[in-house]
Structure formats: C-alpha cells, structure tokens
Amino acid sequence: MKAASVDDYTFKHSLQIADTDFVVCDVETTGLNPERNRLTEVALLRVRGGTVIDRYSSLINPRQFIPDEVQRLTGITNEMVYTAPDAIQVLPEVRRFIGDAVFVGHNVRFDRSFIDAALRRCGIEALQVPNLCTARLARRLIPQKSRSSLGAIAAHYNVRIKNRHRAMGDAEATTQVFLKFLQILDEEFDIHESGELLTFQNRQIYRITGAPRYFTRLQENLAELPHRPGVYFFHDKRGEILYIGKARDLKERVSSYFYHNIGHTEKIRRLVRGVHGITWKPLETELSALLTESRMIKQHQPPYNTQLKRYRKYPFIRIDVTDPWPTISWCYDLVDDGAEYFGPFRSRFAVEDALDSINKLFLLRECEGTIKPSADNAPCLYHEIKRCGAPCAMLASAEEYQREVDDIVLFLQGEQDGVLDRLRARMHRRAENLDFEGAAVLRDRLAAVERIIRQQQLMVHSVRKQNLIIITFARRSSVEIHFIKSGMLASQLLVDQRNLPLAALYAQIEDVYFSRQEELFIGGKEDIDEMRIIASWCLTRRDDSMVLEVDGGDSAEAVLEQLKETVGEMGGGAAASNDGAVRA
C-alpha cells in the first residue's frame, strides 16, 4: 500500500503545524528489502506543538537469521530477539500509535516500506497518511551540506546521537533535527501549515553557485548588510517598494534570497527577479523588527506582501460579552466584534483542553444563538448533567450567570485562588440557607476545580486588556523596553542595564499607564495584527524577554521599582541615573 499523497491529505492542509500530530519512526531490519527481510526493532515518537508527547519502542523477533554484518552495525543480535515478541504482537500497537499522524523519518521511504510490508503480512489495516522526509528537508534547508545522512545533519546542529543505529537512538536524533527544521521553516520561510510543509519537501532544488548576472548590481548592498535584527525593503527599478520583511539577522536573511539553492516558490523567484535595490532599517531586537515590519506594511502596502506574507495562527478563547447570556468558544482570528479574546494558546489541542475544563467546571450555556428566558422553556441535557445553569428556563438569574463569566475570566488569568474562594463562599451560603443539595453541587465543583488546577496551570489574558512591560535583550549591555497599553505598543526605550535612566522610565510609565487616556486600538486589521504579534511573542519568546504585568491598582513608583529589579536580575545588577535613555 503506497503512502497517502499530499492531495489525498487535503483535510490536513489548513491545519497549523502546531495543531498537527507527527510520528517520527525509525526501524532496524535484517536487510534492505521489505519483502524478503524483516523488522528487528521499531521506535516511534509522537510530536505535537514542538514537543514529544509520547513514545513507543520494541524489539521484534524477525523469525529469520540476522546477518553478521547487520549485527555488527546495529548491535542487535539473534540472542536479543529470540525472546522478543513477534510482529503480529507488536504491529497492532504500532498501527494504533501512528493513527492518522504524519509519518516522519530520515530517508522515510525505507522505514515506511518496512512498516507497510509488516502491516500487510499481519493482516492489519494499512496506513493512510503522508510521509515527511527529514533528509529531503535537509537538502533544501542546508544545501551547502554535501551529505544529508542523519549523522551528518545531526553533527551540523550539534545533536548527539545516543545508541547510533538503534531504533530509539536514531528516532530521537531525527526528532531533534525535525524540530530544528520546523523552527527554520517558521522563522525564515513563513511556513505554518502542515500542507505547506508536506509540499516544501518536494520543491525543486536550484543549483546556484553564485549570484546570477542580474544580481551583480546588488552585491554592494548585500556586502553592507549588518548581522543585526531589522527590517529590509526590496525596491523595483523605479524605487518603489516591492516587499518588506523582518529578520533576526539581516545579512543572513536577505542574502538567502540571492545565494542559496533553497527551493524558492515561483512567487518568490518572480519577486527576486524584480529586485533592483535593497534598503534596510537596523533595529535592536527581533520584537522591534516584527512590530516595525507590521507598521511599515500598513504604511506602504507593498504588492508582494499581500501575496507572500503569512503569519502563524495561534488559537484564542473567545467570550461573546456582547450577548446578555455570553457563550465561550475558540478561534484563530482576532476580530473587532466586541468580544473578549483570551490567549494565545500554543495549539488547538491546548485551547480545546482548556475549553473542556471550563465547560465541566462552569455553568455557561453551550447552545448557539440567542436565548429568550422563559419559565415555560424546558432545560436541555446540559442542565441535567450539571454543565449549564439553564438561564433559558429562568433557573439561573442574570447576576448568577455573570458570576460564572467572571469566574471563568479569573480562572483563565491564573487567579484560581479567587475562583476557589468565591465557590467556597457560595457553598457556605447555600449550606447556611439549608440548601444542602446546592451546597453539595458546589462542593463537587470545588473538588473538580482543584483537580484541574493541579493538572494544568492556565494563565492567559484578555488581549484588549493587557498592560505589559516587555524587556528584551539587545546588543552589548542594553535592553529594549516595550510599553504595551491595552494590547498595543504605546512606546519603547533602549536603555543601558548598567545605568538605568530612572527619570525617563518613570515618565514613560506615568504617561502610558496612569495619564494617557486615548484609545490606541482603532479597529483596523493592522491593529489586530499588532495585538497578535505582541500576544504571540509573550507566549513563545519567554527565553528572550521578561514580561511584567501592570495592574490598575499599582502606582507608577511601584511599577518602576519592579522594572528596576527585573532589569537588575536580567543583567546581574543595574545602576541608576537620571538621564541616558535612547529613544528606540
């Protein structure tokens, strides 16, 4: 049975990579032919959201002799597999483990052909999933490497292979290489969907040993590019901007368009052929590059940005507070519709887990559309299983329903103690009023909340209500400080960690959080993009930054002191002065 093609897998195309399950497989065998030879070992690792979430491995009795040269290569001897389970015992678990995940391997056809042949011999349903080959990805992402063996690619990324030529050792190394490739594809190629990833492995490779003739006029530009974060601009022969991009390293990113055989799409090749000039704006941090790129695109609206630029989508929880009886759901897109959006979450799986917990713990309605409460309405099944307070049948008042919404917000924001305290108080009030049945229901909900809190630590915020200070490492001893008001960038400063400009920082804090009243958000798509960039950075780039929350009850002095302490912790101590701020 052949592997499913990309076209056969269209239902996965729109899935974000973070929402897709991948199973990395490595097998050891008695030889090279899947029909004549047999499996001796299999290892599988399930990857979801950039993390290994499950693993399986087993020796297999091949019921045939393992040649001496194979024993020497793998270390798997005839004695080792003599008492191992037969394929008919192992393959059902292998089939269950893989499920409908994308099948990943290094030189994947070899591993897949042996798994398919073994499933067929055991009379087990064939796999109907596509292959993804890390060797093919390597030839497109690091074309300067003459060899694409697992050992060569692992060495390139300083990945140490434990138990080389054993299934689990090779599968673990393949997984580390695969995760590195996903990072590169996300940051450098804007590939965020599984369908795009499956297609990328088959892109044509263009062998270019140097810059083509029509690029020679750009060589001086390319030589001057700095190794710094920033935003770059591609211009046509009239000087008009064709494309705006951001880079963690301007020189590496821009040069990659012109010098490397990285399998550009036809749209990118058309863009590159039209480039007659390159300009750039160096910045201090990648966060500044992301935000500047977004604003520059908004200002100039280059033609190729609409064709090429895509962002990875992160899911959000949405509470429709415009409805008098709000409902809760999840979505990928932020919309200016009056609803509250909480997040982002790392993946669809994470947001669905959170929603499942909320629906079990809190009594919000799960029906769609508007409701008209009436005592004549009959409660639905969700009320019977204690997952809805039945406001439609007037069994929950508007005040009680709003308390549930408020508790959900506290729960999402990590203020679980507040939720527990409110539930305990309500339980005691019902017991005092001799409503023992109602008190027992709340007692059970308390136990469920405490169990969920132990299992998953949630802390997300309403995107429109985020007041944050993001501190990011810049060059040398500097840090860049971004002041975020209501989810959007209000201002930023570049400061020296060793000589903090306290007066300038205090003025910014006072102005942004305690004096300024104007609304930064005006409802456009670009504003929503900026909110998404900031929220996503806070989720995914905690290693690069420190994030402080500014509470409405704080004072400017208290926020400044917290900021000073945080910068000191980042840099091992910081002095203070009344000047020295640099406007970023």
C-alpha torsion sign, points 201, 206, 211, 217: negative
Q: How many CA atoms lie within 13 A of 576 on its CB side?
A: 13
Q: What is the token pair recorded at 262?
A: 């990285």
CA 203, 206, 210, 211 torsion-angle sign: negative
Q: Give me the catalytic one of 13, 106, 165, 428.
A: 165
**Residue type present at position 514:** F
Find out whether 105 and 26 touch, Cβ atoms under 8 Å. yes
* Token pair listed for 413: 């924001």
Q: Which of helix, strand or coil describes residue 27? A: strand
Residue 83: count other Cβ atoms within 10 Å of its Cβ.
8
Residues in the chain, total: 584
- List Cβ neighbours of 323 (8 Å cut-off, separation of 6 or more): 370
Name the 3-class secondary structure at 55: strand
Active site residue 165: yes
Largest CA distance in the chain: 88
> How distant, in Å, are the alpha carbons of 33, 34, 77, 83, 262 from that of 61?
17, 15, 11, 7, 42
Burial class (CB in 10 A: 0-12, 13-18, 19+), 120: middle
Q: By the 8 A CB rule, do 15 and 147 touch?
A: no
Integer CA distances (angstroms), 128 to 199, 344, 501, 537, 581, in order: 17, 32, 61, 36, 59
How buried is 388 (Cβ within 10 angstroms: 0-12 exposed, 13-18 middle, 19+ buried)?
A: buried
DSSP 541: -
CB 30 within 8 Å of CB 70: yes
- In this structure, are residues 186 and 312 in contact, taking their beta carbons and an 8 Å threshold? yes
Q: Hey, what are 82's tokens?
A: 């003599």
Catalytic positions are: 165
